[in-house]
Chain A
Amino acid sequence: MSEWLDILGDLDFSPLFISLKTGVVATAISFFLGIFAARKVIKAGPKVKAAVDGLLTLPMVLPPTVAGFLLLLIFSRRRPIGIFLFENFDIKVVQSWLGCVVAATVIAFPLMYRNARAAFEQVDPNLVYAGRTLGMKEREIFWRVVVPNAGPGIVSGTILTFARALGEYGATSMLAGNIPGKTGTISQKIAMVIQDGDYVTAGIWVLIVTTIAFVIIAAMNLVSSRSKGMKQIKRW
């Protein structure tokens, strides 16, 4: 027991904060981009819809290493875009915390986009039509009618996005690497200490991650069961 407490006392908590920080920023970006993309895709014609939807969902179904490979192709400082960003804006994506955010955002974004789109599509179109005949501006209809009525779907999408971003491993390790105190996230920490045979430290991190994931899912259930107008089925 004392051995556990010693390890806990000496534990470097930086992976937790790096993961949380990455998760929050990636979720915030995905939130707005996802809602924006969902709105655009819903309004598009069927062919554009199919193509764009496929493209936006790809990161969710491909192995994260494929996303990591493509991101490296884009942001590597031996390639045009990477060079351009570094020379003009001093932005470094590879082997930096920004890399963590980019990788997590790309991987988690489809969850936000898909949930937002499904939630928007379930909003009664008559509400939108009513808003239009009442003279409300399109922007006003979207923010005051569509988004609130898609609320539960958007909230659960946001939570799932956060959970996914928090645990991202594959693309992050390729793009941002595992620099302790800088890009070393929880998932990378677990992989590293297991390679060293340190199962106790790995176990502690696994406990932490599991707890966070559980709390997130429980919170999501609470939110979705509180959604307005939905009758809960208790028996059937």
Chain B
Amino acid sequence: MIQVHIRKKFAGFCLHMDFEHEGGCLGILGASGSGKSMTLKCIAGIEKPDQGRIVVGDRVLFDSEKKINLTPQQRRVGYLFQNYALFPNMTVEENIGAGIREKKLRREKTAMQIRRFQLTGLEKRYPGQLSGGQQQRVALARMMANEPEVILLDEPFSAMDGYLKEKLQHEMMEALKDFPGDVLLVSHSRDDIYRFSPRVLAIDDGQVLQSGGIADIFFNPLNYKVARLTGCNNISPAEKRGEYEIYAKDWDITLKTARPVTEDIRYVGLRSHDIRAAEPGNRVRNSEEVSEREERMAGSNSENVFQMELLDLVESPFEYKYHVRAQGSGARSPIWWKTYKNLDQGEAPERFPQKLRIPGEKLLLLRE
């Protein structure tokens, strides 16, 4: 169990963190400069909060009222740095051994971690002679050898891309699977967070915006900032028009919603993958199929169908990104629509379908 209630002012910024977490991995999602790394540093004892209380399990690590402030050495908090912070002047063996408190058991425990993290044969190498994946394993082994009660992961994958990132994410999950304590993962990447953390804390400007289960945060964000953090590309200021109707100012369209629009709703959000074509593409189909589709669309799905004009089309290997706006509207900014390519049907881009449907149940109704 971990409880964090801290305040810290620095360089025109005010950190104001309150959260509690029990069991498994908690993801802290925030843009750079939102205070997420500072929060981890306060928990680890690298930085000192101005006031507040930090508790891990039954141990108070910091309490400004009771004047408790354990040194990082006493906290037993494992910290995985973004660049791993391996000691460049020490071999793999020495790096892992550096954190083992009982000197007598150093050799034995080091050997155990080397086996566990498949570092056999690399004992005498220096960090500079290792690949990125090997460095991560050494950093994990060094942290685990120290037997921490909580593990803090500070943007572990942000400097990587593609294949290496997926491989290391997989290895990290394997390594943390058997860890009995809590894990805090800090990241600005919604993909990393989604992959690791069943529970999420969305933070901005040093404050918790929303906390909850992963599905809540991603599919039911409460406000504008959380929607942005979770990767919602289409957000427009909005005005209530009726119980189930909202006007999106930037897109100049009025949308029907599945949920009632409350008075405090200021924005409407729409994920670019949630928009659907309301008429078939250019592929040759037999007339039966077409008429069947049209019939379906004429039913309950005919709401929020707009005649759209295409402003721009960007192609990437597996998807198309269209910039669109309602035909003849005074839209100030385009709506992004993404579709996955249907690779079975060949590479030819689909004809722009002209009519798009915005599903009311997918609309995010957001507060300030």
Determine whether B99 belongs to the interface, using a CB cutoff of 8 Å to chain A: yes
The answer to the question of B73 belonging to the interface, with a C-beta cut-off of 8 Å to chain A, is yes
- Distance (whole angstroms) from the CB of B18 to the closest CB of chain A: 23
Name the CB-closest residue of A to B75: A133
Alpha-carbon distance A135/B75, docked complex (angstroms) = 8
Task: Please name all residues of chain A whose beta carbon is closer than 8 Å to the beta carbon of B89 when the two chains form the complex.
Answer: 145, 148-149, 151, 228
Q: Is A195 close to B, CB under 8 A? A: no
Cross-interface CB contact of B46 among A124, A129, A137, A151, cutoff 8 Å? A129
The reply on B88 being an interface residue by CB < 8 A is: yes
Size category of the A interface is 10 to 19
A124 CB to closest chain B CB (Å) equals 7
- Partner of B146 from A129, A134, A144, A151 at Cβ < 8 Å: A134
Residues 146-179 of B, flagged 1 when their CB comes within 8 A of A and 0 if not, give 1000000000000000000000000000000000
Given the contacts A129-B46, A144-B98, A135 and B87 also touching, CB distance less than 8 Å? no
**B44 CB to nearest A CB, Å:** 5
Q: How far is the CA of A136 from the CA of B97 in the complex (A)?
A: 11
A136 touches B98 (CB 8 A): yes
B44 interface neighbour in A127, A133, A151, Cβ under 8 Å: A133
**Do A126 and B128 have beta carbons less than 8 Å apart?**
no
Interface SS of B by simple majority: loop
Decide yes or no whether B77 CB sits under 8 A from chain A: yes
**Which residues of A210-233 have CB atoms within 8 Å of chain B's CB atoms?**
228-229
8 Å CB interface, A112-126 against B = 124, 126
B87 x A145 contact (CB < 8 A): yes
Chain A residue at smallest Cβ distance from B147: A135
Within 8 A of A (CB), among B94-124: 98-99, 101
Interface set of B (CB-CB < 8 Å, partner A): 41, 44-46, 71-73, 75-79, 81, 83, 85-90, 98-99, 101, 128, 142-143, 146
Supplied contacts A134-B142, A148-B89, 13 more A-B pairs, CB within 8 Å: A126-B81, A129-B46, A130-B81, A130-B85, A130-B87, A133-B45, A133-B79, A134-B99, A134-B143, A135-B73, A136-B99, A149-B87, A151-B89
Q: List 11 A-B contacts (CB under 8 A).
A: A127-B85, A129-B85, A130-B85, A133-B46, A133-B75, A133-B146, A135-B101, A136-B98, A136-B99, A144-B98, A145-B89
A residues touching B (Cβ–Cβ < 8 Å)? 124, 126-127, 129-137, 144-145, 148-149, 151, 228-229
